[in-house]
Structure 1
Amino acid sequence: MSFYTFARAVVKSVLAPLYRVETIGVEHIPKEGSVLICANHISNFDPPMIGITCPRPVHFMAKAELFRVPLLKQIVQHLHAFPVRRGMGDREALRTGLALLKEKKVLGLFPEGTRSRDGKLGKGLAGAGFFALRSEAAVVPCAIIGPYRLFHRVKVVYGPPIDFAPLRERKASADEATALIMEHIRQLLEAHQ
């Protein structure tokens, strides 16, 4: 058993009952091939919440500061995270993300780049659109619906993959691609509140 599988089981045994986790639409996540999961961001619990509800291992970008603490760095790397320097175009992080998608893995992103202070969906950054346009990944929107209060239900809703073929063909901008992703997340949030 891998560390990821073990950690996922432990985290699920804790979070699932504490937050009465309800998962909707998991059938929309392709069983194989590259997948880009794009979710809203309301809590530090969001990455593990996607990790325990997605049937496949998920790779996340994590803030570079986490990789400066030796023990924490080891744990985070075993959980399939890789560093990103926020507030700047981190080319290394972009290359790593594209390489993971090329290897037919699952990449999890929070297009807003940071947690929402009021729980409302913010503007997405161009990075999500970059990955969607530069890869052949199935782009799966995800809505995390809280708030995270003990013994209150948290929903994780996966929507059908977004058809990016037209945008890829006409070489749309990363901003336009991100806007499309954010619209799909917004629709999921509204449909399942």
Structure 2
Amino acid sequence: MGWVGWVGLVAVLVLVVFVIQAGRRANQADWGGPFLNWLDGINRILCRRFHRLEADPVPLPEHGSALVVANHVSGLDPLLMVAACRRPLRFVIAAEEYRRPGLRRLFDAIGCIPVERSRHPHLALRAARRALERGEVVALFPQGRIDVDEDPERPLKGGMAWLSASTGAPVQPLRVTGVRGRGQTLLAVFRRSRARITAAEPRTCQSADSQECLEGIRVAILGRPRSG
């Protein structure tokens, strides 16, 4: 190997060490293992440097259960939410996303809960409730799918209210704005944004059909109430 090759090899090694150390330093949540914690740090760097994320402090409890809910405009949203929070988030995700080739192992490692939207959605809700009962933080999108229009007249899924009422877990609403790749999934991660996460006051739903609770969450994540 000539001197050019050695210089290139040393440069690659230095870059690898730099990336490893940068991910470790940026890590802010304990995901239960060094590799996942490193990924947490890399994701925070990606969101804050590339997507220029500005986020309100998210007032999650240091210990115990909580529900994090947000509007859903792109596939970038979960990464932004993770970067804004200091605790690991267990996402309830659509089964077709969970089965994406090459990603299922990662989704399993970070505790994602797949939901079959067309059949047996109650199984995912039960799994989410068990996670809350163990004191974990569960994240979901009550619009049910990516919704670029964010029509306030469209009903939110009531599962979050049932989870809060049945476990006593507070609901922490977040509003995601400034995403360039609205309506896109994977491509949104690679389109530079000027992202913003706004955190509303947490609330606890007293019943699964609490319209007051659902409307408060709707306003917090969509930015406006229903016209009626």
Q: Report if TM-score (shorter chain) is over 0.5.
A: yes
Decide whether the 8 Å contact of 1:35 with 1:105 is kept in 2. Answer: yes
- Report if aligned partners of 2:92, 2:113 keep a CA contact under 8 Å in 1: yes
The CA deviation at 1:172 is 5.2
Mapped partners of 1:52, 1:158: distance in 2? 13
Letter in 1 for 2:69: C
Distance 1:146 1:75, change over 3 A: same
Matched, 1:155 2:196: yes
Q: Which amino acid aligns with 1:13?
A: I
2:158 maps to which of 108, 112, 126: 126
Aligned length: 182
| Unpaired stretches in structure 1, ≥5 consecutive residues | none
| Aligned residue in 2 for 1:58 | 89
Name 1:16's counterpart in structure 2: 48
Asked whether the equivalents of residues 176 and 197 of structure 2 are also in contact (C-alpha less than 8 Å), the reply is: yes
Q: Cα distance 1:160–1:175, how it changes in 2: closer, same or farther (>3 A)?
A: closer
**Aligned-pair CA distance for 1:174:** 5.9
Does the CA contact (< 8 Å) of 2:169 and 2:204 recur in 1?
no
Q: TM-score, normalised by structure 1?
A: 0.82
- Provide TM-score, normalisation by structure 2: 0.71
Q: Indicate the structure with greater strand content.
A: 1
Unaligned runs of 5+ in 2: 1-32, 182-190
| Matched AA of 2:209 | S
Q: What pairs with 1:12-91 in structure 2 (closer than 5 Å)?
A: 12-26=44-58, 28-69=59-100, 71-91=102-122
Give the Cα–Cα distance (whole angstroms) in 2 for the partners of residues 152 and 71 of structure 1.
25
Quickly say closer, same or farther: Cα 1:120–1:156, change in 2 above 3 A: farther
Q: What pairs up with 1:156-171 in 2 under 5 angstroms?
A: 156-164=197-205, 168=206, 171=207
2:178 is equivalent to residue 146 of structure 1: yes
Partner of 1:105: 136
Going from structure 1 to structure 2, the CA distance change for 1:68 and 1:87 (only over 3 Å counts) comes to same
- The alignment-based identity, stated in percent, is 26
Q: Equivalent residue for 2:39?
A: 7
Seen in structure 2, the aligned counterparts of structure 1 residues 7 and 126 have a Cα distance that, compared at 3 Å, is same
Among 186, 194, 214, the residue aligned to 1:178: 214
Q: Which of structures 1 and 2 has the bigger CA Rg? A: 2
1:125-147 superposed Cα distances (whole Å, 9 cap, x missing partner): 11122212111111111111123
Highest relative contact order (Cα 8 Å, sep 6+), 1 or 2? 1
Is residue 125–residue 178 contact of structure 1 (8 Å, CA) maintained in 2? no
RMSD: 2.3
